[in-house]
Amino acid sequence: MPVPASACFDELPALAAGLGSGRFTSRELTALSLERCERHGPRYNAVAAVLRDQALAAADRADAERAAGRNRGRLHGIPYAAKDLLAWPGAPTTWGAAPYAMQIIDRQATVLKRLADAGAILFAKLAMVEIAGGLGYRQANASLTGPGRNPWGTDRWSGGSSSGSGSAVAGGLVPFAIGSETWGSITTPAGYCGITGLRPTFGLVSRAGAMPLSWTMDKLGVLSRTAADALDVLNVIEGQDPEDPATVARPAESAREADAPCRFAVLRGATERVQPEVATNFDAALDVLREFGPVTETELPELPFNDVASLIISCEGAAAHENLLRDGRIAEMTAPENRWSLYANLMIPAVDYLRALRILRVMQRELSEWMTRFDVVLTPTLATVAGPVTEPFSSWAQGFESTQISAASNLAGFPALTVPSGFGADGLPTGLQLVGPAFSERLLADIAGRYQAATDWHRRTPPPLPDINGPLEP
């Protein structure tokens, strides 16, 4: 029996069961993803490259291994795609930027190698904001492939900088995708596109073979349909790697009763500067979560999280990409503001950067102590639903994050998980974000999984695109 078209929105356990029972083959499942990727990917501006021949050959190997009785695990034979800042032999790695449109890095990024070893099949590289947004972009069009388009409304932005990863998962092009986050680049597209996004603890997933933006803050993570799916992928890609000195092994976790109440915290004023529907959906999510534990109000320590995060990214991003100025290729950037911001960032005094790193240590200490008072901090993922791709962010965004928890948790290296929480204006998704202390991914996935079991937002799918050829009009 051929793979059903509905499989494009199935969760990973259903796909694994279909492969295990012989209901369909890995080649058939991969062919479905390839067909949807090639047909719809350009219309979402979601795809940087399709690896058709490599993917089908890998799918055939997975089918042969399964027929021979070898099973590599839950991801064996399942196709996936990755943000185009991860190197893969024989494929372009454009970093979303015109100066690197023809760049090929002949190595396997560690995260992709681990997925290949688990039998997962890379079939596409996904679009992204140029240089992962590190040049200070202010518009959706800041990408080699054009503005990321949201499957829930193709005139709306899919979010950055993992724009293609958000669109591809939400649009049913791929079961899961790998993205990256320095400050909001997984949670933003996941929130805008109505899917799950998991940003792991800093150092838990190797960045070897990934484009650097901020050595202090870069993280790789997962975009998927459910929290359980994201955790399955994280279990494969996490762990120490000698090629990334920042990586750490997950420490042993203390035993926790399965039905023990969770101590939730909500930031005071978290819904004061958000769209009304975002606030309504967040309050409804809290009503569900109160079944699993008490909710108390709290406030972040009074520290300049946004300013420190911005300064560190500006300085480290300028150091990582100074060569764009030296050879003049900065002029090829798509967004006009990205053609000059690097000059300004390179002029930041070294003493300011060093002070920011010293303040960072204070922040990490203060936040770690602050997090001991509760298990999970809850916030709306974003203050608004996705805005129009044709308008600058300043005309519609009230800030991509509704509170400073995004900057604070990224600086502290804490994990975050966002799941869909309903719909707002124009039928566009809203999100619920859970933030926990370092190495609390399993707790976050457990709580988010309970929330998803009690709701069906993650099972909603966007309207199908009209059956026309070619990309959508600008």
Q: Which sequence positions are flagged as catalytic? A: 83, 161, 185
Considering only the C-alpha atoms of the chain, give the largest distance between any 2 of them, rounded to a whole number of Å. Answer: 65
In the chain, what is the straight-line distance between the N-terminal and C-terminal CA atoms, in Å? 40
Q: Which of 297, 83, 289 is nearest to 199 (CA)?
A: 83
Residue 296's CB is within 10 A of a number of other CB atoms, namely: 11
Rounded to whole angstroms, how far apart are CA atoms 305 and 297? 20
> Positive or negative, the Cα torsion across 66, 69, 70, 75?
positive
Those residues with Cβ within 8 angstroms of residue 335's Cβ, 6 or more apart along the chain or in another chain: 130, 135, 137, 138, 139, 141, 142
> Which secondary-structure segment (H or E) carries 48?
strand 47-50
Bond prior to 368 in cis (omega within 30° of 0): no
* Residue 137: strand, helix, or coil: coil
Amino acid identity, position 375? D
- 387 contacts 393 by C-beta, under 8 angstroms: yes
Q: Which of 468, 412, 414, 472 is nearest to 440 (CA)?
A: 414
Rounded to whole angstroms, how far apart are CA atoms 228 and 13? 9
Q: Which of 112, 114, 319 is nearest to 212 (CA)?
A: 319
* Separation in Å, CA 116 to CA 7, 76, 83, 237, 394: 21, 9, 16, 10, 41
- 143 contacts 94 by C-beta, under 8 angstroms: no
Strand partners, 434: 378, 417
Rounded to whole angstroms, how far apart are CA atoms 61 and 77? 9
